[in-house]
Amino acid sequence: MVGGQPLNGEVKISGAKNSALAILAAAILLPGKTVIRNTPNLLDVKTMLRVLRALGLRAEYSASQPNTVEIWNEDVRHVAPYELVTKMRASFFIIGPILARKGLAKVPLPGGCAIGSRPVNLHLKGLEALGARVEMEHGFVIVSARKLIGTKVYIDFPSVGATETVMMAATLAEGETIIENAAREPEVSDLAGFLNRAGAKITGAGTEEVHIQGVRSLNPVEYRIIPDRIEAGTFMVVAAATGGNLLLKNIIPDHLEATIVKLKEAGLLIDIGSDWLTISVRNGIKATDVKTLPYPGFPTDMQQQFCALLALAQGTSVVTETVFENRFIFVNELKRMGADIKLEGQSAIITGVPFLSSAPVKVSDLRAGAALIIAGLAAKGETQIEDRDHHVERGYENLQKKLMALGAEIKIV
């Protein structure tokens, strides 16, 4: 890409990747035909559809309606395919629904990734609390339970995935389950909305205490996924880093609170509507400190994009990552482009430089890819970004098209 010019215009935000992946797993619980709208067209969603098909469901993007997934679900196999699940760790979300539906589930242990080892112990502890037996065999996790019994489940860390796994399994358990210290992310609430539409009885989603009253069965639904707050935040940082002026449409501003606060601290002018916002640079980017926290704190999925922005700020910023143990791995690539960043423990000390210089860089994970694209759009000259594993395509729908519509000179070779 050739950077150095401001990006201006409007961008429509797609449906939330992290809602879609959890909701597709939850569709295993619903017999019959389920329709999910505003589903982003992403490699990760396509992988999840392949996982569902491997379990015996019919699951595909609708040929006639854009961003719509249709799932026909009669019976479900209880063994998930090794190569697919290990390819995308979010497919581990299928374990709770298969267990609740079949009383038995055999799912490969997901691998770690660039940002951390990403264990699933909290998922399994939650299922055990509901009465499941958990065994490990040849890289597969095997969970079994004649019946799941509702109970109080305390999750040591407000893990999004663990909260979702317990919530999904508890929908068909006997009696009431109370999840304490639950994750409060909007995607958790979106999953609860989907399940309640299907007849589940979930209250308190979005707070740290979620109550699920077990029911005997669920019914198929039509549901629309919420907008992707991380894609929205990423485009806000694109505007900030290139000195542009953007209008974002199809957003839920409440979900962007922490990101908006931090961008205002960095000197951005932000005007907020009911489902839109405009953002522009007033005079330069000011240094500010950021600490990632579970929602509603500053999202870890925005940390890397923010580091790319703060690399160009006037002054020194401290960015502290408290959610993943290795989410600064991409800093080395930013430094190739002239960023002045020192890592100290869980923090990155970023001293702003007047400009970044283009350089060949490599993508280690999805949001690192977003950060490097932002840096490349801000840097003068041509930047080559190597992304052999298609990390960016896995998580951003039509990113190149959307950026080109804003005036970016970017091509995929």
**Binding site residues, ligand EPZ, CB under 6 A:** 17-18, 21, 90, 116, 118-123, 157, 159-162, 183, 185, 187, 300-301, 323-324, 366-367, 395
Name residues whose C-beta falls within 8 Å of residue 376's C-beta, 6 or more positions apart in sequence. Answer: 1, 3, 337, 358, 361, 383, 385, 410
CB of 91 to ligand EPZ, least distance (A): 9
Rounded Cα gap, residues 70 and 74, in angstroms: 13
User: Among residues 154 and 157, whose Cβ is nearest to ligand EPZ?
Assistant: 157
- The answer to whether 239 and 7 have CB atoms below 8 angstroms apart is yes
Name residues whose C-beta falls within 8 Å of residue 388's C-beta, 6 or more positions apart in sequence. Answer: none
- The answer to whether 260 and 287 have CB atoms below 8 angstroms apart is no
CB of 185 to ligand EPZ, least distance (A): 6
CB of 162 to ligand EPZ, least distance (A): 5
Active-site residue, from 113, 215, 329, 405: 113
**Catalytic annotation present for 307:** no
CB of 370 to ligand EPZ, least distance (A): 9
User: Among residues 313 and 323, whose Cβ is nearest to ligand EPZ?
Assistant: 323
CB of 198 to ligand EPZ, least distance (A): 20
Describe the strand order of the beta sheet including 316-320 as a list of residue ranges: 290-291, 316-320, 347-351, 340-344
CB of 172 to ligand EPZ, least distance (A): 21
User: Among residues 158 and 244, whose Cβ is nearest to ligand EPZ?
Assistant: 158
User: Among residues 40 and 352, whose Cβ is nearest to ligand EPZ?
Assistant: 40
- The answer to whether 393 and 367 have CB atoms below 8 angstroms apart is no
Q: Which one-letter amino acid corresponds to residue 248?
A: L
Taking CB positions, which residue lies at the least distance from ligand EPZ?
Answer: 161
CB of 297 to ligand EPZ, least distance (A): 10
Residue that the structure tokens 């797609």 belong to: 14
Instruction: Look at the alpha carbons of 45, 164, 145, 196 in this order and tell me if their dihedral is positive or negative.
Output: negative
User: Among residues 85 and 379, whose Cβ is nearest to ligand EPZ?
Assistant: 85
User: Among residues 121 and 314, whose Cβ is nearest to ligand EPZ?
Assistant: 121
User: Among residues 90 and 94, whose Cβ is nearest to ligand EPZ?
Assistant: 90
Which residues have a catalytic role annotated?
113
